Amino acid sequence: MKDMIPVDRKMSTMQDSKISARGVQVYYGDTHAIKDVDVEIADKTVTAFIGPSGCGKSTFLRCINRMNDTIDSARVMGDILIDNEDIYDPKVDPVQLRAKVGMVFQKPNPFPKSIYDNVAYGPKIHGLARNKADLDEIVEKSLRKAALWDEAKDRLDAPGTGLSGGQQQRLCIARAIATAPEVLLMDEPCSALDPIATAQVEELIDELRQSFSVVIVTHSMQQAARVSQRTAFFHLGNLVEYDDTDKIFTNPQDPRTESYISGRIG
């Protein structure tokens, strides 16, 4: 807490705040993984979480759609509000929450089903389509949004696992946006991809900003600089610094941020 830069506090008054986290602590068994993190994430922006491995950035990301619930030993304390509703309220069903807060994972993980069924899976379980035509439309729109439609439209019945790595990851993004989320969480979405596929996905992220609040965890500072408007730097479970991306990369306030940016730690 004492490491925190007080600059963050005034963010809470900022308008258009989609997600606000206050005093979040996460324990894995006895390990204290996240130490008292406060953060405000704006709507329709791309927010990047950067930091060295094991700094807790992915853990924090997984708190936002309660994916940590699936790990037995994980305990989350503090409040996370989305649209001013506490998502850790006992009345909240994590299933409903995850429909609102979509997630894309580090390694592309298409289901062993056809491309069509991969995208249609979410709308089907959430009952978003009234009929087959509706569903077809959702699938098409999602694939278009994920910039995969042109490559996939002739092989919708082919298995999703048969696509290339970059295509698979875009399929996973299409799958996530098909459930009409408001927030999209991306956990190092490009770490398993080659540079060309990475460029395509980054381009896509920039477009997605039009519709969603995107939170992306990344290893690569260049990527954070390229795609995000706001950047948060995590170190050893602390949120060290959170500011506009330009400011973080050009004029960091905290010496640790500077060391990381300049490549001395991490």
Partner 1 sequence: MTDAISDLPKGKPATGGHASLLSESPLMKKRNAAEARFKLYGVVAITVGLAFLIFLTVSILRNGIPAFTQTVVNVEFTLSQEEFDEAESKMLKTAAYTEIFVNNITAQFQERGLDVEFDAGTIERLLGKVGGDLRSFYRENPDQIGQPVGFELSTASRVERYLQGKLTRDMVVDGRFLEAADLDVVDAMVDAGIIGTAWDWNFITGTDTGVDNPGGAGIGASVIGSFFMMLVVLLLSLPIGVAASIYLEEFAPKNRFTDLIEVNISNLAAVPSIVFGILGLAVFIQFAHLPQSAPLVGGLVLTLMTLPTIVISTRASLKSVPPSIRDAALGVGASKMQSVFHHVLPLAMPGILTGTIIGLAQALGETAPLLLIGMVGYVAREYPDSLTSGLLDPNSAMPAQIYTWAARSDEAFFEKAWGGIIILLIFLLTMNIIAIILRRRFERRW
Partner 2 sequence: MSNTLILLIVLGLGVFGFFAGRSRAMATVGGDRRLLHSLPNYYGANVALNTIVPAVIVLFTWSIVQPMVINGAVSGMINQDRIAEGSSLGLVMSDVRRVAEGLDVAVAQGVMTPDMASDIRAESSNVREQLAQVGVPLGSGVTSETLQAAQSYRAMAGTGNLLKTLVVLLVSAAGLALSWRLITRDYRARNVVEKGIMIVLIGAASIAILTTVGIVLSLIFNTYEFFKLYPVTDFFFGTNWSPSFSGRGQSSELGILPLLWGTLYISFIALLVAVPIGLFAAIYLSEYASKSVRAIAKPMLEVLAGIPTIVYGLFALLTVGPMLVEVFGDGGLLGVNWMSGGTAVMTAGLVMGMMLIPFVSSLSDDIINAVPQAMRDGSLGLGATHSETVRQVIIPAALPGIVGAILLAASRAIGETMIVVLGAGAAARLSLNPFDAMTTVTAKIVSQLTGDSDFSSPVALVAFALGITLFVVTLGLNIFALYIVRKYREQYE
Q: Would you tell me which residues interact with partner 2 (CB under 8 A)?
A: 65, 67, 70, 72, 95-100, 102-105, 107, 109-113, 121-122, 125-126, 172, 175-176, 179
Q: Could you give the CA distance from residue 125 to residue 120 in angstroms, rounded to a whole number?
A: 9
Contact flags string 11-30 toward partner 1, x per CB under 8 A:
--------------------
| End-to-end CA separation in angstroms for the chain | 21
Comparison of 67 and 225: residue with beta carbon closer to partner 1? 67
Site for partner 1 in 170-229 (CB under 8 A): 177-178, 180, 182, 210-213
Q: CA dist 149 to 116, 135, 138, 155, 229, Å?
A: 11, 15, 12, 10, 28
| 99 in contact with partner 1 (CB under 8 A) | yes
Q: How far is the CB of 156 from partner 1 (least distance, A)?
A: 16
* 3-class DSSP state of 216: strand
* Sheet with 31-42, edge to edge strand ranges: 31-42, 17-28, 74-82, 85-86
CA atoms within 13 A on the CB side of 47: 27
Pairing relationship of beta strands 230-235 and 46-50 according to DSSP bridges: parallel
Q: Which of 128, 147, 199, 236 binds partner 1 (CB under 8 A)?
A: 128
For CA atoms 242, 247, 249, 255, give the dihedral sign. Answer: negative
Residue 129 interface partner, choices partner 1, partner 2, none, CB cut-off 5-8 Å depending on type: partner 1
Q: CA dist 53 to 177, 220, 248, Å?
A: 28, 11, 19
Q: How far is the CB of 203 from partner 2 (least distance, A)?
A: 23
| 124 in contact with partner 1 (CB under 8 A) | no
Comparison of 50 and 104: residue with beta carbon closer to partner 2? 104
Q: How far is the CB of 123 from partner 1 (least distance, A)?
A: 7
| 116 in contact with partner 1 (CB under 8 A) | no
Q: Which of 96, 250, 253, 262 binds partner 1 (CB under 8 A)?
A: 96
Q: Could you give the CA distance from residue 167 to residue 148 in angstroms, rounded to a whole number?
A: 7
Residue 182 interface partner, choices partner 1, partner 2, none, CB cut-off 5-8 Å depending on type: partner 1
Residue 56 interface partner, choices partner 1, partner 2, none, CB cut-off 5-8 Å depending on type: none
For CA atoms 142, 145, 146, 148, give the dihedral sign. Answer: positive
Q: Given the rule CB under 8 A, which residues bind partner 1?
A: 43-44, 82-83, 85, 87, 89, 91-93, 95-97, 99-100, 123, 125-130, 134-135, 137-138, 141-142, 177-178, 180, 182, 210-213
